[in-house]
Structure 1
Amino acid sequence: MQGPTSRVVSAPSPQPDGAINSRDKNLDEPTKYQIEVGEQKKGWRKALAFLGPGFLVCIAYIDPGNCESDLQSGAEYKYELLWIILVASVSALIIQSLAANLGVVTGKHLAEHCRTEYPKAVNYVLWLLAEVSVIAADIPEVIGTAFALNILVKIPIWIGVILTGFSTLMLLALQTYGVRKLEFVITGLVMTMTVCFFAELGYAKPDSKELLKGMFVPQLRGNGATALAISLLGAMIMPHNLYLHSAIVLTRKISRTPRGLKEACRFCLFESGFALFFAFLINVCVISVSGAICSNPGISQENKDKCDNLDLNEASFLLQNVLGRFSKILFGIALLASGQSSTITGTYAGQYVMQGFLHLRFKPWIRNLMTRAVAIVPSLIVALIGGSRAAGNLIIVCSMILSFVLPFVLIPMLKFTGSKVKMGPYANSWIITVITWGIGGGVMAINVWYLSSSFTKWLIHGSMVMGGKVVLGICVYATIVLYMALVAYLTLRIDRENTYCGEDDKEPNHTCHALPRDDIMELQLPRNSASSR
Structure 2
Amino acid sequence: MTSPFVKLIQPGVGPTGSVTQQTERAVRASLDGRRKGLRALLPFVGPAVIASVGYMDPGNFATNLQAGSTYGYQLLWVVLISNLVAMLFQSMSAKLGIVTGRNLAELCREQFSPSVVIAMWIASELAAIATDIAEFLGGALGISLLFHVSLVVGMGATGVVTFAILSLDKRGFRPLELVIAGLVAVIGLSYLYELVIAPPDWHAALLGTLVPHLHGASAVTLAVGIVGATIMPHTLYLHSRLTQTRTLARNDGERRRLLRFSNKEVVIALGFATFVNLAMVMMSASVFGKSGSGVADVSVAYHTLIPLLGVGAATVFLVSLLASGISSSAVGTMAGQVIMQGFVGFRIPIWVRRLITAVPAFVVGLNGNVMDAMIGSQVVLSLILPLPLVALVVVSSRRSVMGDFVASRKTVLAAHVATVSIVLLNVVLIWQMVS
TM-score range, shorter chain: 0.7 to 0.9
1:355–1:361 Cα contact (<8 Å) kept: yes
Q: Report the TM-score, using the length of structure 2 for normalisation.
A: 0.88
Partner of 1:73: 67
Partner of 1:454: 433
Distance 1:173 1:248, change over 3 A: closer
Partner of 2:404: 425
Partner of 2:339: 353
More helix by share: 2
Residues 384-395 of structure 1 aligned to structure 2 (within 5 Å): 390-395=369-374
2:108–2:117 Cα contact (<8 Å) kept: yes
Partner of 2:228: 234
Rounded Cα–Cα distance in structure 1 between residues aligned with 2:408 and 2:372: 40
Partner of 1:380: 366
Residues 147-158 of structure 1 aligned to structure 2 (within 5 Å): 147-158=141-152
Rounded Cα–Cα distance in structure 2 between residues aligned with 1:73 and 1:246: 31
In the TM superposition, residue 322 of structure 1 has moved relative to its aligned partner by 10
Rounded Cα–Cα distance in structure 1 between residues aligned with 2:5 and 2:270: 35
Partner of 1:265: 259
Moved more, 257-266 or 164-173: 164-173
Q: Is 1:404 the counterpart of 2:397 in the alignment?
A: no
Distance 1:23 1:450, change over 3 A: closer
Rounded Cα–Cα distance in structure 2 between residues aligned with 1:257 and 1:173: 33
2:70–2:295 Cα contact (<8 Å) kept: no
In the TM superposition, residue 84 of structure 1 has moved relative to its aligned partner by 0.6
Residues 179-328 of structure 1 aligned to structure 2 (within 5 Å): 187-188=181-182, 191-296=185-290, 299=291, 304=292, 307-316=293-302, 324-328=310-314
* Secondary structure, aligned partner of 1:232: helix
Q: CA RMSD in A?
A: 2.8
Partner of 2:32: 40
Rounded Cα–Cα distance in structure 2 between residues aligned with 1:241 and 1:256: 26
Distance 1:239 1:221, change over 3 A: same
In the TM superposition, residue 21 of structure 1 has moved relative to its aligned partner by 6.1
* Secondary structure, aligned partner of 2:352: helix
* Secondary structure, aligned partner of 1:253: coil
Distance 1:96 1:185, change over 3 A: closer
Rounded Cα–Cα distance in structure 2 between residues aligned with 1:223 and 1:419: 39
Distance 1:182 1:77, change over 3 A: same
Distance 1:374 1:160, change over 3 A: same
Partner of 1:478: none
AA of the residue aligned to 1:442: S
Distance 1:374 1:203, change over 3 A: closer
Distance 1:437 1:200, change over 3 A: same
Rounded Cα–Cα distance in structure 1 between residues aligned with 2:129 and 2:6: 27
Partner of 1:340: 326
Rounded Cα–Cα distance in structure 1 between residues aligned with 2:5 and 2:320: 35
AA of the residue aligned to 1:112: E
After the TM superposition, list the runs of 4 or more consecutive aligned residues in structure 1 that deviate by more than 6 angstroms: 23-26, 177-183
Moved more, 341-350 or 321-330: 321-330
Deviation track 1:141-189 (CA, whole Å, cap 9, x = no partner) reads: 1211221122123233355446544442344346668986776566545
Partner of 1:53: 47
Rounded Cα–Cα distance in structure 1 between residues aligned with 2:172 and 2:239: 23
1:64–1:140 Cα contact (<8 Å) kept: yes
* Secondary structure, aligned partner of 1:225: helix
1:151–1:329 Cα contact (<8 Å) kept: no
1:121 aligns with one of 101, 108, 115 = 115
Rounded Cα–Cα distance in structure 1 between residues aligned with 2:416 and 2:94: 18
1:186–1:337 Cα contact (<8 Å) kept: no
In the TM superposition, residue 428 of structure 1 has moved relative to its aligned partner by 1.2
1:290–1:318 Cα contact (<8 Å) kept: no
Partner of 1:439: 418
Rounded Cα–Cα distance in structure 2 between residues aligned with 1:258 and 1:31: 22
Partner of 1:142: 136
* Secondary structure, aligned partner of 1:374: helix
Q: Which runs of 5+ in 1 are unaligned?
A: 1-19, 383-389, 457-533
Rounded Cα–Cα distance in structure 2 between residues aligned with 1:197 and 1:422: 42
Moved more, 354-363 or 253-262: 253-262
2:194–2:313 Cα contact (<8 Å) kept: no
AA of the residue aligned to 2:343: F
The structure having more radius of gyration, on CA atoms, is 1
Moved more, 317-326 or 107-116: 317-326
In the TM superposition, residue 370 of structure 1 has moved relative to its aligned partner by 1.7
* Secondary structure, aligned partner of 1:371: helix
Partner of 1:93: 87
Partner of 1:63: 57
Moved more, 57-66 or 368-377: 368-377
Distance 1:447 1:372, change over 3 A: same
Moved more, 179-188 or 58-67: 179-188
AA of the residue aligned to 1:215: T
In the TM superposition, residue 60 of structure 1 has moved relative to its aligned partner by 1.3
Q: Report the TM-score, using the length of structure 1 for normalisation.
A: 0.73
Q: Is 1:168 the counterpart of 2:162 in the alignment?
A: yes
In the TM superposition, residue 425 of structure 1 has moved relative to its aligned partner by 1.8
* Secondary structure, aligned partner of 1:101: helix
Q: Which runs of 5+ in 2 are unaligned?
A: 15-20
AA of the residue aligned to 1:412: A
AA of the residue aligned to 1:64: P
The number of residue pairs the alignment matches comes to: 419
